[in-house]
Amino acid sequence: MKRHSIIILTALLTTLLLGGCGEPEPTYVYNENPDNKEASLKFLSEMSTTVDAKAQEVVFDLVSTHKQFDIKVDRKWCTAEVRDNNKLVVSVEKNEFGNNRVATITIVTGIEDNVTAPQSVSVYQGPGEIAIPKVGDIYGTGVVYWASTAAADAGFRTVSLKRAYGLAAQWSIDFQETGMTDKNDGLKNVEKIEFLNEYPAFNFCATMEENMGKGWYLPALNEWDDIFLFYNGGITPTKGLPTAAEQEARTAFEAFLAANGGDPFNAFVASSNGDSYWTSTESSLEDAYCVLTHNHKILEGSKTGSKRGARCVQYFDLK
C-alpha cells in the first residue's frame, strides 16, 4: 500500500513539473540596464582653462553613461568631484606665491571591467603676490633649507627651529614592524601610523605649530641630504670630521638659530659623533635609521632609545 502511494505522488509531481497543470511558461522581460552599456565619457567643454590666483571653482561639463567615477588629482592645491552626473567641479586654492602652476585631473567612469580610457583636464593658475622664500630665510617657525622657482619643481622646504631630544623623541615606545621603509618621502612613512602617541618623535612633529596649512613631519633618510648640505654651508659634507670651512659654516648656522630663538642643531659639537637625529625610515623590527651631525654617519638605532633627537621638516609644493 505504501509503495502504491509513493508511485502516485511521484506521478503527480512529474505532471506538475512538466506543466500538466495547464499553467503557461513564464515570460521574462529584460529591462535595459544602464550599467550593462559600454561605458562612455565625453567632455562638452574645453578640457583646459586658466584662472587667476584667487580661490575658486572651475566647472567642466560632461556626459556619461555611468554614475561611478574614479578621479585623480596630481596637485594638493586643488580637489575635484563630479556633481549631478554631468559636471566635473575642480576646487582651486588661493595661490599666495609668485609662481604659475598647473594641475592635471584624470577621470574614468564605469565599473569592474567596463571602464573608459582615462581622460584628463588641466587647470592653469596665475601667480600670487608673495615671492618664494630663499634658502636661509625664516619662514614661520622654520628655516628654508631648499627652494626652487622652476616650474617643474616649484616649492620650498623648511627645517624646524625647535627640536625634541631624549624620551620626548623616542622613535616608538615598543618594537613592531610598521612598513615605514620609504627613504625619500617622510610623509609616506607618517601615513602608516595609526596612533601617534605611540611614536613620540613623529608626534612631536605632527603637533608642532603649523604654517600656511601645511604640517611638519619627520624626514626620511634621504631627505636629510639636503638638510646637511644647508647645515654645511652648501658644501657637500665630508664623511668623517668636518673641514675648517664646513665647521665655520656650521658655527654660523648655530649662531643664526640662537639669534632666532631656535634650538642648537649640534649641541655636542665637541663630540666626534655630535647630535644624533632620527629619520622616519625603519630598518628592522627593532631599529630605525638615524644620522650623526658631526661626522655625517648613518646608523641604525633602537626605536625605543632615548639618546637621539627629532628635527622636523615641512614641504611647500607650489607646482
Q: How confident is the model at residue 123 (pLDDT cuts 50, 70, 90)?
A: very high
Question: Is there a single domain that holds both residue 94 and residue 60?
Answer: yes
- Using DSSP's 3-state secondary structure scheme, residue 133 falls into coil
What pLDDT does 22 receive? 47
Highest mean pLDDT among 31-40, 201-210, 254-263: 254-263
Read off the pLDDT of residues 269-301 as tens digits, 9 standing for 90 and up.
666 678 999 999 999 999 999 999 988 889 999
Query: Residue 98 and residue 127: Cα distance in Å, rounded?
Result: 5
What pLDDT does 176 receive? 86
Point out which residues pair with 42 in neighbouring strands: 63
Question: Is there a single domain that holds both residue 118 and residue 156?
Answer: no
- Using DSSP's 3-state secondary structure scheme, residue 48 falls into strand
What pLDDT does 222 receive? 97
Lowest mean pLDDT of 9-23, 28-42, 79-93, name the range. 9-23
Q: Has residue 319 got a pLDDT over 70?
A: yes
What pLDDT does 21 receive? 41
- Name every residue whose Cβ is closer than 8 Å to that of residue 163 and which is 6 or more positions away in sequence: 169, 263, 265, 277, 309, 310, 311, 312
Question: Is there a single domain that holds both residue 142 and residue 280?
Answer: yes
Q: Which three cell numbers stand for residue 201?
A: 618623535
Domain range enclosing 283: 138-317
Domain boundary residue among 125, 149, 170?
125
What pLDDT does 280 receive? 98
Cα 286 to chain centroid distance, Å, stands at: 25
Q: Are 200 and 288 in contact (CB under 8 A)?
A: no
Read off the pLDDT of residues 198-255 as tens digits, 9 standing for 90 and up.
999 999 999 887 655 468 999 999 999 999 999 999 998 877 788 899 999 999 999 9
9 within domain boundaries: no
Question: Is there a single domain that holds both residue 84 and residue 225?
Answer: no
> Which of 11-44 are b and which e, b meaning 16 or more Cβ less than 10 Å from the residue's Cβ?
eeeeeeeeeeeeeeeeeeeeeeeeeeeebebebe
Question: Is there a single domain that holds both residue 99 and residue 197?
Answer: no
Question: Is there a single domain that holds both residue 43 and residue 181?
Answer: no
Backbone angles phi, psi at 289, to 5 degrees: -75, 145
What pLDDT does 111 receive? 87
Q: Has residue 10 got a pLDDT over 70?
A: no
Lowest mean pLDDT of 81-90, 93-102, 173-182, 237-246, name the range. 237-246
Mean pLDDT across the stretch 150-175?
93
Question: Is there a single domain that holds both residue 118 and residue 166?
Answer: no
Q: Has residue 302 got a pLDDT over 70?
A: yes
Q: Has residue 7 got a pLDDT over 60?
A: no
Question: Is there a single domain that holds both residue 148 and residue 218?
Answer: yes
Domain boundary residue among 102, 125, 148?
125
| Other Cβ atoms within 10 Å of 45 Cβ, number | 13
Give the global pTM: 0.77
**Range list of β-strands (E), the chain:** 41-43, 48-51, 56-64, 69-73, 78-83, 87-92, 101-111, 114-115, 119-125, 138-139, 142-148, 155-165, 276-282, 287-292, 298-302, 309-317
Mean pLDDT across the stretch 89-110?
95
293 within domain boundaries: yes
Cα 193 to chain centroid distance, Å, stands at: 13
What pLDDT does 199 receive? 96
State the sign of the Cα–Cα–Cα–Cα dihedral 183, 186, 187, 190.
positive
What pLDDT does 253 receive? 96
Chain mean pLDDT for the chain:
87
Share of the chain above pLDDT 70, in %: 86
Mean pLDDT across the stretch 175-190?
94
